[in-house]
Structure 1
Amino acid sequence: MTTYLNADLHCHSVVSDGTMAPEDLAARAKANGVELWALTDHDEIGGQQRAAAAARSLGMAYLTGTEISVSFAGTTVHIVGLGFDPDNPQLAQGLAATRGGRGGRAREMATQLAQAGISGAYEGALQFVGNPELVSRTHFARFLVDTKVCRDTAEVFRKYLIEGKPGYVPHRWAALSDAVRWITEAGGVAVIAHPARYKLTANEEYALFSEFKAHGGQGVEVVTGSHSAAEYVTYGAMAHEFGLAASRGSDFHSPEESHTDLGALPLLPGTLTPVWELLAERVRPAA
């Protein structure tokens, strides 16, 4: 496989905080020209068998995937895992532990929103949840849009669900070292997701990349839905500096909410090593 491949290795289904079934995402990816696909639900691998089967039935190559939330320098950072064994027990146990605190956090968020004059938020959020273990801020945001409290999910986050606002409740995520270890010991490759999104100082970002590499991380998303063209260049250079492979993924969640569709990103720059070259033996071939 080459750099010039329409690979989309970051998206979400209803198994976490997306709005589409794995099978429908596979069909959308195929229709948009995706040649290599991965479903990367948050802290969850429950949709992997369905996604892989759907991809194969459509003649599309597939890599297993997940997106793990970790705490680093007081910030929530996401690590994508690709090409792992989905039956690995340590990975499954680690993801279950990371998901475990979301229910209590969601109830606390609802209590704070009620104090701000928005009642019934927990029950309302559950209407948008495909997996009860993964009720998240996104589901609360959809409820507040549906009930006309806000115009769109961006406004909900800005007014209610970011640090310092009435519905924000922090969650204790996995450690960076644990997330990378779970992925690599299951035979996969760990990738820093959308690095430009984190509000890290230059020193903190350098520390993130350094520690990630030291723990065995091997990739970074360079071309992704929330990066600008200038950021493609910035993180392409970071990939070179740290000896990391480059990944590409839309971070697609929903036709109504996502700015970048599956398969719609520019191709990776040809000077970078694509992450799928590290995973050639793990790619599940098309039928």
Structure 2
Amino acid sequence: MTIDLHTHSRVSDGTASPRDLVHAAAAAGLQVVAITDHDTTLGWDEAAAAAVEAGVALVRGIEVSTRFRGAGVHLLAYLPDAGDAALQEELSRIVRGREDRVPTMLARLRELGIPATEEALAASAGDSEVTGRPHVADLLVRLGVVRDRDQAFAEYLSDGGPAFVDRYAPELPAMLSVVRAAGGVPVLAHPWGRGSAHVLDERAIAGLRDQGLAGIEVDHLDHDPGTRDRLRAIAQRLDLVVTGSSDHHGTGKTGHDLGCETTAPDQLARILDLAASLGSPTTLIGKAELT
């Protein structure tokens, strides 16, 4: 069984609709796929309908932006109740923080002589529900300033870059509580990639486990083989779920093909059991024999 537990649609910063994402997952040979758009559940219903059409089991999730010890850390929340008021209130605050900084980022780019207008961004972002740095990066690509998103972040948009603007993100321990209260299963996304390794050593991960963390995304393209071995050993010592996933964004992020990294069926079974123990009303859409 092939299981990919981290993908994005154009509801956030992917390039395919939720429906097309799910159908692409089926075409790629996946039996289970998770939709985990940034800080929103708005793609869930469309993805769920597509899962029934495509014969794929769908895990509904979110990739939540948080902060821990001054660093940005992403948290995958699997199977929370989308109707939970506290969860939706926090997601709304995060999205507002994302969107409120965009005009300032564009203004800084214009100060650098780049014609980054809000009208141009709207045309570039299309019907994305959550606009943020990846969409600004795509605009820079369209304007011919950079060749791809990676260069846009490296030269303009990453922390400390000339167009970087900080934003609101909740503290990770607080978000763990919100996710679990909503019946969700929290898993650290690519914990030793993207500059967060220095704050997420084993002692810190153990403390987060004691505050409700359920797992670690180990098999991710941001982690080299040695990193994966060390993270897997930490997960085993701390009895944490181990996941793997593509972090697929469509054409917005090259090399992250659907199913390029996967999760073992027994680890998905642990996630489902944990969600049930937390009283989550959200289950798999479609059927999957976890063998």
Could you say whether these structures have the same fold, taking a TM-score greater than 0.5 normalized by the shorter chain as the test? yes
1:81 counterpart = 2:82:
no
1:107 counterpart = 2:103:
yes
Matches for 1:103-142 after TM superposition, within 5 Å: 103-130=99-126, 134-142=130-138
User: Deviation at 1:266?
Assistant: 5.4
Aligned to 2:280: none
Rounded Cα–Cα distance in structure 1 between residues aligned with 2:199 and 2:128:
38
Aligned to 2:34: 38
Identity %: 31
Match of 1:171 among 167, 189, 195: 167
User: Deviation at 1:236?
Assistant: 1.0
Rounded Cα–Cα distance in structure 2 between residues aligned with 1:27 and 1:220:
27
1:199 counterpart = 2:200:
no
Match of 1:276 among 249, 255, 269: 269
Retained in 2: the 8 A contact 1:126–1:139? Answer: no
Rounded Cα–Cα distance in structure 2 between residues aligned with 1:133 and 1:83:
20
Rounded Cα–Cα distance in structure 1 between residues aligned with 2:197 and 2:244:
24
Matches for 1:130-279 after TM superposition, within 5 Å: 130=126, 134-200=130-196, 202=198, 204-255=200-251, 257-265=253-261, 268=264, 274-279=267-272
Rounded Cα–Cα distance in structure 1 between residues aligned with 2:90 and 2:287:
30
Superposed CA deviations along residues 234-278 of structure 1, whole A, max 9, x for unmatched, are 21112112211111211100135231211122564x9xx614323
Aligned to 1:58: 54
Rounded Cα–Cα distance in structure 1 between residues aligned with 2:197 and 2:246:
25
Aligned to 2:14: 18
| Range 164-173 or range 277-286, more displaced | 277-286
Rounded Cα–Cα distance in structure 2 between residues aligned with 1:275 and 1:267:
7
Q: TM-score, normalised by structure 2?
A: 0.89
CA 23–133 in structure 1, closer or farther in 2 if over 3 Å, else same: closer
DSSP-derived class of the 1:26 partner: helix
Retained in 2: the 8 A contact 1:58–1:286? Answer: no
Q: TM-score, normalised by structure 1?
A: 0.90
Rounded Cα–Cα distance in structure 2 between residues aligned with 1:198 and 1:118:
26
CA 267–180 in structure 1, closer or farther in 2 if over 3 Å, else same: closer
Aligned to 1:49: 45
CA 230–163 in structure 1, closer or farther in 2 if over 3 Å, else same: same
Misfit runs of 4+, over 3 Å: 130-133, 200-204
CA RMSD of aligned residues (A): 2.1
- How many residues end up aligned between the 2 structures? 280
Gaps of 5+ in 1: none
Retained in 2: the 8 A contact 1:13–1:21? Answer: yes
DSSP-derived class of the 1:63 partner: strand
| Range 135-144 or range 87-96, more displaced | 87-96
User: Deviation at 1:231?
Assistant: 2.5
Retained in 2: the 8 A contact 1:73–1:204? Answer: no
Rounded Cα–Cα distance in structure 1 between residues aligned with 2:219 and 2:128:
31
Aligned to 1:285: 286
